[in-house]
Structure 1
Amino acid sequence: MRHSQKGASFFGWLAVIALLVFGMVIAMKLVPIYMDHYSLRNIITTVNEDPNVKVNSLRDLNSYIEKGMQLNSIRDIKAKDAITTTQSGQNAYTVVLKYEVRAPLLNTVDLLVHFDETFIVRPLK
């Protein structure tokens, strides 16, 4: 009578655990990058939604974004390199958010995350 093995072998479990650990390491590198990006997006889009934010010029908008980045502790992204603001009407601004973040994964392997978004900002009055 032959008995077949039931369940996973030691090497099967070892492979599953190695894959889980690798996935967790990648997640630990990527989650802070995406959290900073979503905080920066929130700073920019808040200008459209919050009537308490007073933006009357490009200088005001840039100042508001830089202060928001300081308050949210976004230090890995430089506002002057990542954000381009232009006036696109009497009371409208175009904000282009374009940057990349490189996070080291292994000795010679890096994770590269690229962001490229455009926002039309119309401050409430």
Structure 2
Amino acid sequence: MMKTQRGMTLTSFLVVLAVVGFGLYIGMKLFPMYSEFYAVKSALKGVAQEPGVANKEPGQVQEMFFRRLYINYSDNVKPSNVKFERVSGGWNMKVNYEVRRPMIGNLDVVGKFEAHQELTLSGAD
């Protein structure tokens, strides 16, 4: 009686390896973009928890926000990406920005991110 071998061939192993490698490559391009976005959201929540933030001028609040982002090495958010809107009891701070990373050749990965936080006397929402 002849026993048959079971398992992957070298060709199928190389195909699986290529697919996994490509997935890891995409993940390496996307992870920093989302990591920065979570740093932005964290900075927004931190600013909202500052005492008296609802009574401060937008310039002061923006400076506090960028100080927190500087700690997290965020370089894609610019002052022009931050907008303030007056709401009852404080401000609504919105951050909209875009991140573009080269992928392969002339193909880029583009991420558009938007976050907002109410800065009111009642605290963070």
TM-score (norm 1): 0.82
| CA positional deviation for 1:21 | 0.8
Offset from partner CA, 1:1-26 (integer Å, 9 cap, x none):
78655111111110110011111111
Aligned match of 1:77: 77
Residue aligned with 1:7, SS? coil
The alpha carbon displacement at 1:104 in A equals: 0.6
Q: Which residue of 2 aligns with 1:49?
A: 49
Alpha-carbon distance, 1:50 to partner: 4.5
Distance 1:92 1:4 in 2: 74
Percent of aligned pairs with the same amino acid: 22
Gaps of 5+ in 2: none
In structure 2, how many angstroms separate the alpha carbons of the residues matched to 1:32 and 1:47? 22
TM-score under structure 2 normalisation? 0.82
| Number of matched pairs | 120
- Separation (CA, whole Å) in 1 of partners of 2:50 and 2:11: 56
Large movers: runs of 4+ above 4 Å: 1-5
Query: For structure 1, which runs of at least 5 residues remain unmatched after alignment?
Result: none
- Of 112, 115, 118 in structure 1, the residue corresponding to residue 116 of structure 2 is 118
Aligned-partner SS, 2:60: helix
Q: CA deviation at 1:79?
A: 2.8
How is 1:27-106 mapped onto 2 (pairs within 5 angstroms)? 27-51=27-51, 54-55=52-53, 56-80=56-80, 82-89=81-88, 91-106=89-104
Matches of 2:79 and 2:2 in 1, distance apart?
69
Distance 1:20 1:79 in 2: 38
- Asked if the contact 2:99/2:112 (under 8 Å) is kept, the reply is yes
| 1:117, distance to aligned residue in structure 2 (A) | 2.8
Classify the secondary structure of the residue corresponding to 2:74: coil
Give 1:48 deviation, angstroms.
2.8
Whole-Å separation in 2 of the counterparts to 1:2 and 1:114: 59
SS at 2:76's partner residue?
coil
CA separation of 1:97/1:59 partners in 2, compared to 1, >3 Å: closer, same or farther? same
